[in-house]
């Protein structure tokens, strides 16, 4: 996958994973204990967490090549979907908590789609946007451009939560308790914080487990 030899990433090989990864590994272990064989995708996840594939995406962009085999599945963790044979190109799925997006983000997405994609975006049923017709050498430009816009699309595919959606008119509701977008945003942020906390714990940067992280809750009143 273009990743240099070195220490195994957290959750790979025989290393015992922690945090959210531990649940998946335990489920795999129970399945293997029955004498069954994991699918190719599950075997790939057991060797390498899909969120640890950034170096591989960079290497493929540098060489201008598409992923093959289970790499196609793992690249989805970075929000990049190789959609052949429908198109010999990548589709990039974006994530907008509660389906909320700013005008600046929309202009930025339009610019990225025009420069690196097909010049358009798809609107999905999960209140997301997708940029299509992205060639391998442009993947990093798209991902870094989205990061500059504040659009986080890591975990936009594969075994991850696609999005947390809400009604587009919820902010017009006068009762703060009936406004779900703030709860959607807090849930999204909490999931991202836990992912970051698990990674830091694995790299020995922190000592507290991810489950000890305090919950982010909406403030009282309208948001």
CATH number of the domain encompassing residue 130:
3.90.480.20
Which pLDDT does position 128 carry in this prediction?
A: 84
Position 7 scores a pLDDT of: 40
The pLDDT assigned to 174 comes to 59
Domain residues for 208?
A: 170-212
Q: What is the pLDDT of residue 167?
A: 64
User: Looking at per-residue confidence, does 84 or 223 come out higher?
Assistant: 84
pLDDT over threshold 70, residue 117? yes
Q: 63 and 141 in one domain?
A: yes
> What is the pTM for the complete model shown?
0.70
Same domain, 179 and 113: no
| Of 48-52, 99-103, 167-171, the least confident | 167-171
**Any domain includes 219:** no
Looking at the fold, whether 53 and 158 belong to one and the same domain comes out as: yes
The reply to whether 39 and 18 lie within a common domain is yes
Q: Is 61 inside any structural domain?
A: yes
pLDDT band for 30, please (50, 70, 90 cuts). very high
Confidence category of residue 24, pLDDT binned at 50, 70, 90: confident
Same domain (yes/no): 35, 88: no
Mean pLDDT over all residues of the chain?
Answer: 77
Number of residues in the chain: 223
Provide the pLDDT confidence category of residue 199 given band limits of 50, 70 and 90.
low
Q: Region 94-99: what's the mean pLDDT?
A: 79
Q: How many domains does the chain have?
A: 3
**Does residue 149 share a domain with residue 203?**
no
Residue 184 lies in a domain: yes
Residue 87 shares a structural domain with residue 182? no
Q: Quote the pLDDT of residue 177.
A: 54
Most confident by average pLDDT, 20-29, 136-145, 146-155, 182-191: 136-145
Query: Residue 191: which pLDDT band, with cuts at 50, 70 and 90?
Result: low
Q: Is 1 domain-assigned? A: no
Q: How confident is the model at residue 85 (pLDDT cuts 50, 70, 90)?
A: very high
Q: Would you state the pLDDT for residue 83?
A: 95
- 111 shares a domain with 81: yes
- Asked whether residue 153 falls in the same domain as residue 83, the answer is yes
Residues 6 or more apart whose Cβ sits within 8 Å of residue 15: 8
**pLDDT above 90 (res 211):** no
Position 3 in a domain? no
Under 8 Å CB-to-CB from 150, ≥6 apart: which residues?
105
- Answer whether residue 199 is part of any domain: yes
State whether 54 and 155 are in the same domain.
Answer: yes
Residue 121: strand pairing partners: 131
Distance CA 157, CA 78 (A): 8
Burial of 146 (0-12, 13-18, 19+ CB in 10 A): buried
Model pLDDT, residue 203:
55
119 plus 201 within the same structural domain: no
Instruction: Tell whether the model's pLDDT for residue 81 goes beyond 90.
Output: yes
6 found inside a domain: no
Residue 91 lies inside a defined structural domain of this protein? yes
What single-letter DSSP state applies at residue 76?
G
Same structural domain, 174 and 83: no
The set of residues, in sequence order, having a beta carbon less than 8 Å from that of 207 and lying 6+ positions away, is 201
């Amino acid at each position: 996958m273009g990743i240099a030899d070195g220490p195994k990433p957290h959750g790979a090989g025989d290393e015992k994973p922690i945090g959210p990864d531990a649940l998946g590994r335990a489920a795999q272990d129970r399945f293997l204990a029955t004498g069954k064989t994991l699918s190719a995708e599950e075997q790939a996840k057991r060797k390498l967490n899909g969120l640890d594939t950034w170096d591989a995406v960079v290497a493929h962009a540098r060489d201008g090549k598409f992923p093959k085999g289970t790499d196609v599945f793992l690249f989805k963790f970075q929000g990049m979907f190789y959609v052949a044979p429908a198109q010999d190109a990548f589709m990039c799925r974006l994530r907008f908590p509660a389906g909320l997006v700013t005008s600046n983000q929309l202009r930025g997405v339009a610019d990225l789609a025009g420069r690196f994609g097909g010049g358009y975006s798809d609107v999905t049923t999960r209140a997301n946007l997708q940029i299509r017709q992205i060639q391998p050498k442009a993947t990093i430009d798209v991902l870094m451009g989205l990061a500059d816009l504040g659009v986080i699309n890591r975990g936009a595919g594969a075994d991850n939560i696609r999005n947390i959606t809400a009604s587009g008119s919820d902010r017009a509701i006068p009762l703060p308790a009936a406004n779900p977008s703030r709860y959607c945003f807090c849930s999204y942020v909490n999931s991202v914080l836990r992912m970051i906390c698990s990674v830091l714990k694995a790299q020995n940067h922190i000592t507290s487990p991810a489950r000890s992280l305090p919950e982010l809750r909406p403030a009282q009143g309208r948001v």
